[in-house]
Amino acid sequence: MLKINGQKPLSGTLNLSGSKNAALPLIALGCMFERSVIDNVPRIADVFSLLSIIESLGAKVEFQDHTVIIERNTFSLHNLDVANIKKIRVGLLLIPALYQTLGSLTLPTPGWCALGARHINDHIHGFQDLWLEVELDNDASHVSVSGEFFVGERSLSAWFWVTPTENILMMSALRPGVTHIRFAAIEPHVINLVEALQSVGFDIEVLFDHTIKIVGNPDLFSSHLQATVQNDPIEAGTYMIIAALMSEEYIDIRWVQTSHLGMFLNTFRSTGARYDMIDDTTMRVYRSRELAPVKFQTNIFPGFPTDLQSPFSILLTQAQGDSRIHEVMFESRLGWLAELESLKWKATVLNPHQAIIHGPTQLVWGNVASWDLRAGVAMIIAGLIARGTTHVTNIRYIDRGYEDIIGKLQAIGADIERIDED
């Protein structure tokens, strides 16, 4: 549980960590090489879970500071860490490495946050389009992959989903020949994966029409992989929101890459919030005493990222009027709004995808629970601006994706601490 005493002015500098969304597929890719070294890996729960799975397969894994080193032996499923592979959906990203070494495999299907229907069908259809044999058992608790690749040029679709795009890309790298992945996700962390493959010699083009063209070459996996995880744009957006709401004057955020923030920056500025780049990678975000309402919708990159919808909604509670949210990506991601009723906020949920936030609202203390990773961080932000003491429960979600967020906030003056849950 977190205990937050709100309305404490904040000042100082926040350093970004490596991106969760980039680190996990890069680690999975590392399992396809004899040896891989991946730098700037965040020390978060999802990374530790994935590394535990990889160790259970028989690989040697070291996690030193923020560097992961993987030395692959022949994989085996006999001692598979079933608990973790069911817990995190990115376990699916190990399928290409397992197919590469085993030729056929059966894995438990993973779990995930309650964001909506995050089916594995797009993974299945992508692999099938490469002519692999993929089956779900009757209760969809296990997925099996076997068979041999189609020889020749192939074209398939990923329907803009990030993890299927990453999975199909890695599997296509194993298949000799040209693969066109149409309707591909091109989020920054997908490009991070593309660049890692290019660094060892893969011929890959990312086209403006959301097509990724890759020439597969299994021989290239005999080399070693050296890759670096990009800094986290979602963490950057989160800290920008906190700075706009609670900084004494301003907060500096280091290692920001503005090109990764897409439409978020435009929407942030539309509220009247202000920032300057004081050097190439350092953003100074100023306290905003008066915010304007906005309308926004989440979308695929470079649109407004769904992972920042929840934190941004807290910013809008302080806007001078009604703001509208259209959550396009997930049908259950607005469910967290009900949790804030105990903080006396005002919102109208129109349907599973749309809501109105009525501002400005003085949030007051209360007890709230984290619904998922991003909603959990939104609860932290709400606690920072609320009057009195707020308790946030179910914080295991937050630990999955933000490295040492409590320590970072304490360092800039936040009155926040972990306490034991009764």
Q: Give the active site residues.
A: 113
CB 329 within 8 A of CB 353: no
Cβ density class 107-142: b for 16+ within 10 Å, e for less: bebbeebebbebebebbbbbbebbebebeeeeeeee
* 92 φ, ψ (degrees, to nearest 5): -60, -30
The CA distance from 343 to 119, in Å, is: 34
For 44, how many CA atoms within 13 A lie in the half-sphere containing its CB? Answer: 29
CB 31 within 8 A of CB 271: no
CB 243 within 8 A of CB 257: no
The CA distance from 396 to 370, in Å, is: 8
Nearest to 166 by CA among 4, 378, 22, 55: 22
Give the sign of the dihedral formed by CA 106, CA 401, CA 255, CA 258. positive
- 74 exposure class (CB count in 10 Å sphere: 0-12, 13-18, 19+): exposed
Residues, the chain: 422
The CA distance from 25 to 188, in Å, is: 12
| Token digits of residue 69 | 């080193």
Nearest to 173 by CA among 41, 31, 40, 306: 31
Angle at 180 (CA atoms; ends 177, 182), nearest 5 degrees? 165
DSSP, residue by residue, 188-228: HHHHHHHHHHHHTT-EEEEETTTEEEEEE-GGGGGS-EEEE
